[in-house]
Amino acid sequence: MKLIFLGPPGAGKGTQATGVSTSLNVPHLSTGDMFRAAIKNETPTGLKAKSYMDKGQLVPDSVVIDMVRERLAMDDCKGGYLLDGFPRTVEQAKALDEISTPDAVINIEVPDEKLMSRLTGRRVCGKCQGTFHITKLANEKTCPVCGADLIHRDDDKPETISNRLRVYHEQTAPLIGYYQGNGKLRTVDGDNRPEDVLKAILASLE
Ligand code: AP5
């Protein structure tokens, strides 16, 4: 199955990706994670992406599309994929249709007023990539799964989050209409317990 996760920053795309990719036996491809790895390794793509990400803006389409095209050509994507964070513009969606047309698009809906607190309180494990919220952590600094240090993402500051939400509504939300138009969109209520959201996603794919 070739699947896309659509939704605003903090909707729970990364949180749901592990369960869904395991269940469908497809790789989880997050363009945000790819850029963060490129920044850490100081690659040319990482150097280009950093200034945009720090401001909460989208990385230019040409950079993202080339990176995704290369990733989808790899052997592990032959049986399908779960794309999280791509496409984010209509231009990216059109490019994906030419590279590898998706089978279904899951749109995870969460009201804007819930997203700010989800993101300011998010902590991510630098080792196992687990995603947590401070309200559920006994210790804010250490991963409860593997014990590595937890990271507060640079773009999870209130002013950058506001910008990411504005960019989402202006540039990414139009994709809802794009995928409604071709009958691929399934909308799921993301404002529920994570385990219920997972069930709803899997049910929408049956
Ligand atoms: P990216 O890393 O993709 O960030 P994003 O889309 O903004 O999404 P997030 O990772 O912030 O949120 P999420 O939906 O995964 O939520 P999560 O599960 O973590 O992109 C970062 C940047 O990279 C972009 O701004 C851009 O610059 C660049 N970029 C990436 N792709 C690009 C592209 N295609 N084109 C151009 N630029 C691109 O959950 C968030 C929090 O909520 C956590 O604390 C979690 O514990 C909690 N939570 C999750 N589910 C629930 C629930 N059901 N109930 C309560 N809390 C929950």
Q: What is the DSSP string of 45-102?
A: HHHHHHHHHHHTPPPPHHHHHHHHHHHHTSGGGTT-EEEES---SHHHHHHHHHH---
State the average pLDDT for the chain: 96
With H, G, I as helix, E, B as strand and everything else as coil, classify residue 185. strand
* pLDDT per residue as tens digits for the range 1-46: 999 999 999 999 999 999 999 999 999 999 999 999 999 999 999 9
**What's the confidence (pLDDT) of residue 85?**
97
What does the pLDDT read at residue 10? 98
Model pLDDT for residues 152-192, shown as the tens digit of each residue: 999 999 999 999 999 999 999 999 999 999 999 999 999 99
Rounded to 5 degrees, φ, ψ at 50 are -55, -45
Q: Whose CA is nearest to atom 34 of ligand 1?
A: 86
201 C-beta closer than 6 A to ligand 1: no
Question: What does the pLDDT read at residue 8?
Answer: 98
- pLDDT the model gives residue 129: 87
Per-residue model confidence (pLDDT) at position 15: 95
Q: Is 72 in the pocket of ligand 1 (CB under 6 A)?
A: no
In residues, how long is the chain? 206
Joined together, the tokens standing for residue 23 give 């269940």
Closest approach atom of ligand 1 to CA 131: 46
**pLDDT tens figures, 122-152:** 999 989 989 999 999 999 899 999 999 999 9
Mean pLDDT of 49-77: 97
Q: How far is the CA of 128 from the centre of ligand 1 (A)?
A: 16
From 65-69, 126-130, 183-187, 197-201, the region with the lowest mean pLDDT? 126-130
| Alpha carbon nearest to ligand 1 atom 40, residue | 10
Please tell me the pTM assigned to this model: 0.95
- Work out the widest C-alpha separation in the chain, in whole angstroms: 46
